[in-house]
Chains A and B, each alone.
Chain A
Amino acid sequence: MARITLKNLAHSYLAQPRSEADYALKEMDHVWQDGGAYALLGSSGCGKTTLLNIISGLLTPSHGRVLFGDRDVTDAPTAERNIAQVFQFPVVYDTMTVRDNLAFPLKNRGKDAAYIKARVDQIARMIGMEAMLSRKAQGLTADAKQKISLGRGMVREDVNAILFDEPLTVIDPQMKWELRTQLKALHRQFGHTMIYVTHDQTEALTFADKVVVMYEGRVVQMGTPEELFEKPAHSFVGYFIGSPGMNFLDAELQGDRARLPGGEVVALGAHYAPVAGRVQIGIRPEHAMLVASGGMPLTVRRVEDVGRHRLVRGELAGRPLNVVMPEGMPVEGLPQVAFAPGRINVYADDWRVAPQEGGAA
Chain B
Amino acid sequence: MEKTWNNKAWFLVLPVLVVVAFSAVIPLMTVVNYAFNDTFGNNEFFWAGLEWFDEMVHSDRLHEALGRQALFSAIILAIEVPLGIFVALNMPKKGFWSSLVLVLMALPLLIPFNVVGTIWQIFGRTDIGLLGRGLAALGLDYNYTNDPVDAWITVIVMDVWHWTSLVALLCYAGLQSIPQAYYQAARIDQASRWAVFRHIELPKMKGVLLIAVLLRFMDSFMIYTEPFVVTGGGPGNSTTFLSIDLVKMAVGQFDLGPAAAFSLMYFLVILLVSWVFYTVMTSMDRSQSDIPEAM
Interface, chain A (partner B; CB < 8 A): 53, 56-58, 77-79, 83-85, 87-89, 91, 93-97, 104-105, 108-109, 131-132, 134-136, 138-139, 149, 152-153
B6 within 8 A of A: no
The answer to whether B179 and A79 have CB atoms under 8 Å apart is no
Pick from A53, A57, A134: contact of B291, CB under 8 Å: A134
User: Which residues of B are found within 8 Å of A57, using beta-carbon distances?
Assistant: 187
The answer to whether B195 and A108 have CB atoms under 8 Å apart is yes
Measured CB to CB, the closest approach of chain B to A101, in angstroms, equals 9
Given A83-B188, A104-B191: A136 and B181 interface contact (C-beta under 8 Å): no
The answer to whether B187 and A58 have CB atoms under 8 Å apart is yes
Given A88-B181, A89-B181, A136-B288: A131 and B188 interface contact (C-beta under 8 Å): no
The answer to whether A136 and B192 have CB atoms under 8 Å apart is no
The interface residues of chain B, by DSSP majority, are classed as helix
Interface residues on B, range: 20 to 34
Given A89-B181, A91-B181, A91-B182: A105 and B190 interface contact (C-beta under 8 Å): yes
User: Which residues of B are found within 8 Å of A153, using beta-carbon distances?
Assistant: 188
B44 within 8 A of A: no
B295 within 8 A of A: yes
The answer to whether A134 and B294 have CB atoms under 8 Å apart is yes
User: Which residues of B are found within 8 Å of A78, using beta-carbon distances?
Assistant: 187-188, 190
B287 closest partner in A (C-beta): A136
Given A58-B184, A85-B184, A136-B288: A96 and B190 interface contact (C-beta under 8 Å): no
B200 within 8 A of A: yes
B236 within 8 A of A: no
B289 within 8 A of A: yes
User: Which residues of A are found within 8 Å of B288, using beta-carbon distances?
Assistant: 95, 136, 138
In Å, the complex CA distance between A152 and B199 comes to: 15
User: Which residues of B are found within 8 Å of A94, using beta-carbon distances?
Assistant: 199, 203
B185 closest partner in A (C-beta): A91
B2 within 8 A of A: no
User: Which residues of B are found within 8 Å of A109, using beta-carbon distances?
Assistant: 190
Measured CB to CB, the closest approach of chain A to B202, in angstroms, equals 8
User: Which residues of A are found within 8 Å of B179, using beta-carbon distances?
Assistant: 89, 91
User: Which residues of A are found within 8 Å of B188, using beta-carbon distances?
Assistant: 56, 58, 78, 83-85, 105, 153
Measured CB to CB, the closest approach of chain B to A56, in angstroms, equals 7
The answer to whether B190 and A136 have CB atoms under 8 Å apart is no
B293 within 8 A of A: yes
The answer to whether A96 and B199 have CB atoms under 8 Å apart is yes
